[in-house]
Amino acid sequence: MTDTGHYGFATRAIHAGQDPDPTTGSVIVPIHATSTYAQDGVGGLRGGFEYSRTGNPTRTALEECLAALEGGRHARAFASGMGATDAALRALCRPGDHVVIPNDAYGGTFRLIDKVFGLWGVEHTPVALSDVDAVRAAIRPNTKVVWIETPTNPLLNIADIALLAQVAHSAGARLVVDNTFASPYLQSPLALGADVVLHSTTKYVGGHSDVIGGALVTSDDELDAAFGFLQNGAGAVPGPFDAWLTLRGIKTLELRMEKHSDNAELVAEALQRHPRVQSVIYPGLPEHPGHEVAAKQMRRFGGMVSFTVAGGEEAALRVCSRTRLFTLAESLGGVESLIEHPGKMTHASTAGSLLEVPADLIRISVGIESGDDLVADLVQALDSV
Ligand SMILES: *Cc1c(COP(=O)(O)O)cnc(C)c1O
């Protein structure tokens, strides 16, 4: 790999792992659509590749790029964010171990830990990550992982990564940071002491709502070997076209995150001014309880905004169905703006649990369209309910 460590973020995004192809000169990393590789005599591998579950050059390019973006020594790409989550938990936990998780964790992460790992004897405790004493109190002698998201989904709570790394490490546990909402451009958890960074590359990293993927980044050689073992041994790997789409998306990550942040700031301020809006949750607003920590550890505040409306669930559902530019859909992080009702959509599986979300909450993924158009669309939807 070309050493791109001293380059700026955008340079790494465009060049890390992506040298021109040595045999053809192809400037763009080819889609290596092959399951297997010819050997020159038994064991005589030409490029280090033997079978595409184990390794594929397009995937390797993506992995080298992701490692460079997070400032980590290693990255492993998976078929989805959940595939990466599953591999991380299996590498870090055994039956009888315990995990601390956010009390507003991504719904799928909660479901996996509760419904799948629970059956195999891994226990968990949900806590409010902004309350460091509560995190300390939740840690037990068998706690192996403190699993955090920041900003969280969908309530955009902020956790202090450097502080929680100290708390986890002093208890002999590892800190895993799901960095999906911030993206590697806005936040660098490894530099703040995290052991592992997880991405659903489906979101901002890919950025175009056209591919599902996940990744684990670490500077710990042993952990990376465990992740690599599971990548090959359990097989949740992305195909070469998925790896290529993700790599293509990454090239504009810095530009996109800047524009997402510009537009989200504009939208958050406009929502605050609308009489039907009760509260606006955006870490960039000075009154957000996590604003100071976010300002310390994030470059900017990202593209996710949540808000509540007067009139409860009924009104929230109506707003979601009346926007024209904001498409009513799950997911986030693409160039196009999306709107959703977490209680009935992404977080329906948390109903009745500690992780249940407010019924009047709306979450928007602010895209990179013209900011004024996005504001006007939300205002007309709110005016009409
Ligand atoms: C989407 C998401 C995941 C899961 O990723 P998939 O690619 O959908 O499997 C995990 N964490 C967060 C914060 C997410 O938004």
Average pLDDT over residues 52-63: 98
Task: Mean pLDDT check: name the lowest of 166-170, 208-212, 352-356, 378-382.
Answer: 352-356
Position 3 in a domain: no
pLDDT of residue 354: 73
Average pLDDT over residues 215-227: 98
* Tens-digit pLDDT profile for residues 250-281: 999 999 999 999 999 999 999 999 999 999 99
CA of 146 to the centre of ligand 1 (A): 18
Give dist(CA 168, CA 146) in Å, integer: 6
User: What amino acid positions are annotated as catalytic residues?
Assistant: 53, 106, 178, 203
- Domain encompassing residue 354: 253-383
CA of 205 to the centre of ligand 1 (A): 12
pLDDT of residue 347: 83
Show the ligand 1 pocket: residues with CB < 6 angstroms: 80-82, 106, 108-109, 149, 153, 178, 180-181, 200, 202-203, 212, 214
pLDDT of residue 357: 87
Question: Considering the chain, what percentage of its residues have pLDDT values greater than 70?
Answer: 99
Integer angstrom CA distances of residue 365 from 191, 333, 378: 27, 6, 12
Residue nearest to atom 7 of ligand 1 (CA): 81
Longest CA pairwise span in the chain (Å)? 74
Q: Could you say which of 229, 250, 271 is where a domain stops? A: 250
pLDDT of residue 356: 83
The atom of ligand 1 lying closest to the CA of 152 is: 13
Question: Does pLDDT of 355 surpass 80?
Answer: no
Q: Using alpha carbons only, what angle is made at residue 350 by residues 318 and 330, rounded to the nearest 5 degrees?
A: 50
Strand ranges across the sheet with 143-149: 74-78, 214-218, 196-200, 174-178, 143-149, 98-102, 123-127
Considering the domain architecture, whether residues 71 and 193 belong to the same structural domain is answered as yes
Considering the domain architecture, whether residues 245 and 263 belong to the same structural domain is answered as no
Q: Could you say which of 199, 230, 250 is where a domain stops? A: 250
Average pLDDT over residues 343-351: 84
Of residues 167, 169, 108, 180, the one with CA closest to residue 138:
167
Position 4 in a domain: no
Question: Does pLDDT of 71 surpass 70?
Answer: yes
Question: Does pLDDT of 1 surpass 70?
Answer: no
pLDDT of residue 283: 98
Integer angstrom CA distances of residue 140 from 171, 207, 228: 8, 38, 28
Residues 6 or more apart whose Cβ sits within 8 Å of residue 141: none
CA of 182 to the centre of ligand 1 (A): 12
Question: Does pLDDT of 364 surpass 90?
Answer: yes
Count other C-beta atoms under 10 Å from residue 43's C-beta: 7
Mean pLDDT of the chain: 96
pLDDT band at 346 (very low <50, low <70, confident <90, very high): confident
Residue 159 sits in a domain of what CATH number? 3.40.640.10
Amino acid found at 57: P
Asked if residues 342 and 360 have their Cβ atoms less than 8 Å apart, the reply is no
Residue nearest to atom 6 of ligand 1 (CA): 81
pLDDT of residue 2: 56
Average pLDDT over residues 120-135: 96
Considering the domain architecture, whether residues 295 and 361 belong to the same structural domain is answered as yes
Q: What is the domain count for the chain?
A: 2
The atom of ligand 1 lying closest to the CA of 82 is: 9
pLDDT of residue 307: 98
Question: Considering the chain, what percentage of its residues have pLDDT values greater than 90?
Answer: 93
Question: Does pLDDT of 168 surpass 90?
Answer: yes
* pTM listed for this prediction: 0.96
The atom of ligand 1 lying closest to the CA of 214 is: 7
Q: Using CB atoms within 10 Å of the CB of residue 27, give its burial: 0 to 12 exposed, 13 to 18 middle, 19+ buried.
A: exposed
CA of 297 to the centre of ligand 1 (A): 21
The atom of ligand 1 lying closest to the CA of 149 is: 13
Which stretch of DSSP H or E encloses residue 149?
Answer: strand 143-149
Task: Mean pLDDT check: name the lowest of 129-138, 142-151, 353-362.
Answer: 353-362
CA of 40 to the centre of ligand 1 (A): 41
Task: Point out which residues pair with 101 in neighbouring strands.
Answer: 126
Residue nearest to atom 8 of ligand 1 (CA): 81
Position 333 in a domain: yes
Q: Could you say which of 205, 230, 250 is where a domain stops? A: 250
